[in-house]
């Protein structure tokens, strides 16, 4: 067993959450050795039925974020089955839930009640907008959270905003929820008390917007779409199309990388144009024409061994087979037809272990 798989050994997590943010957080806790019990409604959560069906008879999306967990189905509107949840919580360390604010209270198991009954329990609520927001009862999805926070305004082409993939707010909320849970467990060792953590998906992307917020403070506006160094405005940080239809990525942000690229390209005249005013549409067009005259093989021959931050844009089926992926053992195939992306950390030279399949107890 790798050492990271023992970090949360003996930690019991009860997960009431659905879809991606909560299940992803508890999935990563599985990788660290936690015992995770997933509680679903009697009919199963919606994610079972969204996406292509896999070998387990459920959506592969559901299987992917619930591997290594034990499942139980409970009707929390039923008094007896609600009592079963409280029994599960009697020796639990963490509860994760993703209901809208006020739903737990309506079920008779509100935050105040849980805090009183289980003072050592760390409760993590992952919801859309947060209990203190005027939007607390509104619905939303990742696209909505990115739209309202200025993220989409800086993402895409000049003509059109583009939603990033994977869902950024969902994943950010999951990771902020996980990191806060771990911090709360550490603090509990000192105080003896649990706490209630709330992470709203609509809030989770703003800490990722530090550069945009810095521009806002300085210039009174964020970073315009396709006009900045890192979002499509610079010639040295974008993708290009080759003569044979492949895409390549150039990330020569620093002067030394840009200079190395220009020398390898045989265009030393481009070196002085590194800081042309943004957006660098003229210089970009020259690079578009340059790459359009080269095949992927010719690009790799010319730039593959040059320190200029150059590589091919890979499809996912290609990406999981690269020497890097094979060597790191962090994306694995424990069973035919199944890929797992494990917690991306080595501890004492070893990666986490692959997860067992999701297992239902009833």
CA distance linking residue 257 with residue 261, whole number of Å: 6
Helix axes 21-31 and 168-191, enclosed angle (nearest 10): 50
For 358, the token pair is 């999701």
Distances (CA, A) of 217 to 220, 227, 257: 6, 18, 30
Burial of 60 (0-12, 13-18, 19+ CB in 10 A): middle
Residue 147 pLDDT greater than 80, yes or no: yes
Q: What's the pLDDT score for residue 211?
A: 93
User: Active site residue: 15, 93, 170, 203, which one?
Assistant: 170
Q: Tell me the per-residue pLDDT of 181-225, one tens digit each, with 9 for 90 and over.
A: 999 999 999 999 999 999 999 999 999 999 999 999 999 998 889
Q: Tell me the per-residue pLDDT of 229-288, one tens digit each, with 9 for 90 and over.
A: 999 999 999 999 999 999 999 999 999 999 999 999 999 999 999 999 999 999 999 999
The CATH T-level fold of domain 237-313 is: formyl-coa transferase, domain 3 (3.30.1540)
Residue 362 pLDDT greater than 70, yes or no: no
Neighbours of 224 (CB within 10 A): 16
Using H for helix, E for strand and C for coil, what is the string for 187-209?
HHHHHCCCEEEEEEHHHHCHHHH
Read off the pLDDT of each residue in 150-175 and give the average, rounded to a whole number. Answer: 94
Q: Tell me the per-residue pLDDT of 290-349, one tens digit each, with 9 for 90 and over.
A: 999 999 999 999 999 999 999 999 999 999 999 999 999 999 999 888 999 999 999 999
Residue range(s) occupied by CATH 3.30.1540.10 in the chain? 237-313
Architecture of domain 3-207+336-360: 3-Layer(aba) Sandwich (3.40)
CA distance linking residue 353 with residue 293, whole number of Å: 45
Residue identified by tokens 């009707």 is 75
Residue 46 pLDDT greater than 90, yes or no: yes
Q: What's the pLDDT score for residue 193?
A: 97
Question: Residue 54's pLDDT band (boundaries 50, 70, 90)?
Answer: confident
Q: Is 244 a catalytic residue?
A: no
CA distance linking residue 102 with residue 109, whole number of Å: 10
Residue range(s) occupied by CATH 3.40.50.10540 in the chain? 3-207+336-360
Q: What is the mean pLDDT of the chain?
A: 96
Q: Tell me the per-residue pLDDT of 336-354, one tens digit each, with 9 for 90 and over.
A: 889 999 999 999 999 999 9
């Amino acid at each position: 067993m790798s050492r990271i798989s023992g970090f949360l050994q003996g930690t019991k997590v009860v997960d009431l959450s659905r879809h991606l943010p909560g299940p992803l957080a508890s999935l990563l806790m599985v990788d660290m050795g936690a015992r995770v019990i997933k509680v679903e409604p009697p009919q199963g959560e919606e994610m079972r039925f969204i996406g292509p069906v896999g070998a387990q008879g459920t959506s592969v999306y559901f299987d992917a974020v619930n591997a290594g967990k034990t499942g139980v189905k409970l009707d929390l509107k039923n008094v007896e089955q609600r009592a079963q949840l409280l029994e599960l919580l009697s020796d639990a360390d963490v509860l994760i839930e993703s209901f809208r604010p006020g739903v737990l209270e309506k079920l008779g198991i509100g935050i105040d009640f849980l805090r009183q009954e289980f003072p050592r329990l760390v409760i993590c609520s992952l919801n859309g907008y947060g209990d203190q927001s005027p939007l607390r009862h509104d619905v939303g999805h990742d696209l909505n959270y990115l739209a309202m926070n200025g993220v989409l305004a800086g993402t895409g082409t000049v003509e059109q905003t583009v939603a990033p993939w994977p869902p950024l707010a969902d994943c950010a909320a999951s990771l902020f929820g996980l990191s806060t849970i771990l911090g709360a467990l550490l603090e509990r060792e000192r105080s003896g008390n649990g706490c209630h953590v709330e992470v709203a998906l609509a809030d989770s992307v703003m800490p990722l917007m530090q550069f945009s917020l810095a521009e806002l403070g300085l210039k009174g506006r964020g970073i315009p779409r396709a006009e900045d160094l890192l979002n499509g405005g610079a010639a040295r940080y974008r993708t290009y199309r080759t003569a044979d239809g492949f895409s390549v990525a150039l990330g020569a942000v620093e002067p030394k990388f840009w200079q190395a690229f220009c020398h390898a390209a045989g265009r030393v005249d481009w070196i002085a144009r590194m800081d042309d005013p943004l957006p660098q549409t003229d210089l970009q067009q020259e690079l578009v024409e340059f790459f359009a005259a080269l095949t992927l093989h010719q690009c790799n021959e010319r730039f593959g061994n040059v320190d200029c931050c150059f590589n091919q844009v890979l499809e996912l089926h290609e990406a999981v087979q690269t020497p890097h992926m094979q060597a790191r053992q962090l994306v694995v195939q424990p069973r035919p037809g199944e890929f797992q992306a494990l917690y991306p950390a080595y501890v004492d030279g070893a990666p986490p272990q692959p997860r067992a399949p999701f297992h239902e107890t009833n």
